[in-house]
A and B are shown apart, each in its own frame.
Chain A
Amino acid sequence: MDLRVVPATPGIDYIADERIREWARALVRADIRTFARARQRFLEKPNAKRLHVLRTSARRLRSLYDDVRAIVPVPKRGALSRLIGLTGEARDASALRIALASALDMRERDAGRRYENMLRKRERRGLRNVYRALLHLHIEAP
């Protein structure tokens, strides 16, 4: 039997309230575990594919934070957002290279190659920046 004393506020079901919190905490814990695995894999071998997995898991976690932050703690949301920004720089460079390759006219290939090389450099720099930021980012489940 639950003997906790709770203030009687009309319209609030405290048992339901606790069930919702527990559901939200379980979702946050699961997403943090997924992010931690993606982080570990990226640190072992930073490449574009693992960056994509890392970025997706970070975005999912931040999105969940935004959904449930009114009822459960959302640890390190700011640091997570900064990391997502960094992953975006590396990902954009990679995506732009692919988009450019699909449209580049051969008469303009010299200018296109210059731009492509610049994107490659930006992508490598982005991977390094993500790696450095990840070394300092550990998220503990609430």
Chain B
Amino acid sequence: MKARTIDLSDATGVEDAMRRIAIVRFAEVLSLAPSLRHGRPAELHNLRIACKRLRYALERFTPRVPSLFDGTTRLTQIQDTLGEVHDRDVLLQALPHDMQVTRARINVQRGEALARARALLLDAFAAYGPFAGLMRFTGLGYGFGDGEGVAAL
């Protein structure tokens, strides 16, 4: 998925520019989060890339906005877990079909990694959870941890 271009032309200062970038990148993650429910490989891959973009941006901002730090740590965990899912998706596509036992094991590993990623994301939205600073900074994500997020995942 291509990164959305961010309009910084009328930002009022550096912090406002950082906020605009964080809002767009966080919105990309939120819009792709439902892929954790149906588990389609291409969309999960896009979610992983979106998490990575958001994390890279937040890591640049943490010297000025330290409250974003917990979010970057959690995004790393989610992204690593989605990486495990992705590697197994690629492996399942490439492995010969007669390797049935190995394929079954890979499928189990994939399911476990997907469940972990889902739990990591949902938990991040809890009150005082790792995304609390990010949600305050961007104004996005409220309600995801209880209502709409649970329904989406």
Contacts and interface: CB of A to CB of B under 8 A. Distances in A.
Contact of B8 (A66, A71, A100, A104): A71
Contacts of B12: 13, 16
A20 B88 CA distance: 42
Interface residues of B, number: 36
A20 B106 contact: no
A45 interface: no
Interface stretch (A36-44, A105-113, A131-139): A105-113
A99 B105 contact: no
A103 interface: yes
Interface residues of A, number: 35
Interface in A14-67: 16-17, 19-20, 23-24, 27, 59-60, 63-64, 66-67
Interface of A: 11-13, 16-17, 19-20, 23-24, 27, 59-60, 63-64, 66-71, 92, 95-96, 98-100, 102-105, 107-108, 111-112, 115
Nearest to A105: B101
A96 B90 contact: yes
Given A20-B11, A59-B52, A63-B57, A108 B87 contact: no
